[in-house]
Copies of this chain bind each other. A is one copy, B any other.
Amino acid sequence: MAAQKRQDVVTFIFFAAITGVGGGTLRDLLIGAPVFWVQDAGYAIVCSVVAILVYLTRGRGVHRQTLLWLDAVRLCVYASAGVAKALPMGVDPMICVVMGALTATFGGIIRGLLAGVPSILLSHELYITPALVSASVFVTLRRPGADWTWASGIAVAFGFVVRAGAIRWTWHMPAFEPPAGRDPS
């Protein structure tokens, strides 16, 4: 996404890093865990290398549509990963769902703020909801001691279906309507 505006490589990496690790950073701060990428320089290296590669190819041959679908997968994987990190720390399951959703969505929200584009929060697109679905399914499946791999696979699948519906058929929830009788302008 950082490739849409004209940017130099440093800003490009900066935006890629925020989208990639922003949500997990907030989650770690909130649950009091050491921030994952500060502990392990590997994340910074991988993130920089990927960003540089994408920058050098300059989006050639990559369609905006492909990015949208890749981001949908990322969204649901992050939501499950967020839960998977918070649950063993003794965080309440309901709060774990919140953490999953934050992990998945916060990076993109901050990126939008810094890039000065209208927030996805204000569009009617479902974005937080698929993350909540993935996180909720993961919390539910994981509690009775179900297999970790299966749980995350199913959780990602459920969230992805919701996100796919939002992208493909513009699924959305009923919006807050102004009181009847007034012009909804």
A contact set with B: CB distance below 8 Å: 3, 5-12, 14-15, 25, 29-32, 34-35, 37-38, 40-41, 44-45, 55, 58-60, 91-92, 94-95, 98-99, 109, 113-116, 118-119, 121-122, 124, 128-129, 132, 172-179, 184
Contact B121 A44 (CB under 8 A): no
Residues of B within 8 Å of A44, CB to CB, are: 94-95, 98
A-B contact pairs, 19 of them (CB 8 A): A6-B176, A6-B178, A6-B184, A8-B172, A11-B121, A11-B122, A11-B128, A12-B176, A14-B121, A29-B30, A30-B35, A38-B95, A44-B95, A44-B98, A45-B94, A58-B176, A60-B179, A115-B119, A116-B118
* Smallest CB gap from A173: residue in B: B8
The answer to whether A109 and B114 touch across the interface, beta carbons within 8 angstroms, is yes
